[in-house]
Amino acid sequence: MAITGYVWFDAEFNSLDLEQAVLLQVAAVATDEHLKPLADDLGPLEMAIQLDPGVEVSPWVKEHLSGLITRCGGAEAVSLDEADTLLSGWLQTHFGSCSKPVHERPLLAGNSVHN
């Protein structure tokens, strides 16, 4: 099977307890099969997700990701639906339609892919 590329994906959550976690951030980098970042105008993707009022944030996340929490409450933050649309468009621009046969799609990689 020839590898067409990789999508390196990372996500941050409001809690380390993934059963109750709420998404705070998504980030992705596209590379070719030799792990070289794809050179284009898009670059890596990184989005802070709007944090609904009343969502609790764990003490660890407050301590280590305080800047991100601030961004999640700011004007740059996007809704989860908007993040989904932007991520889908970013992937399609880099790798084409998701209707391609599986062996022609990029592999998903990164620390967050098994969460």
- CA–CA distance, 52 with 60 (Å, rounded to integer): 19
Contacting residues for 55 by C-beta, under 8 A, at least 6 apart: 14, 22
Q: Is the pLDDT of residue 112 over 70?
A: no
Domains within the chain, CATH numbers bracketed: 6-109 (3.30.420.10)
Mean pLDDT of 88-111: 86
Give the pTM: 0.84
Q: How many CA atoms lie within 13 A of 2 on its CB side?
A: 4
Exposed/middle/buried for 92, CB within 10 Å: 0-12, 13-18, 19+?
A: exposed
| Secondary structure class of 29 (helix, strand, coil) | strand
pLDDT tens per residue, range 28-51: 999 988 999 886 677 789 999 999
* DSSP for residue 101: -
pLDDT tens per residue, range 44-89: 899 999 999 899 999 999 999 999 999 999 999 999 999 999 999 9
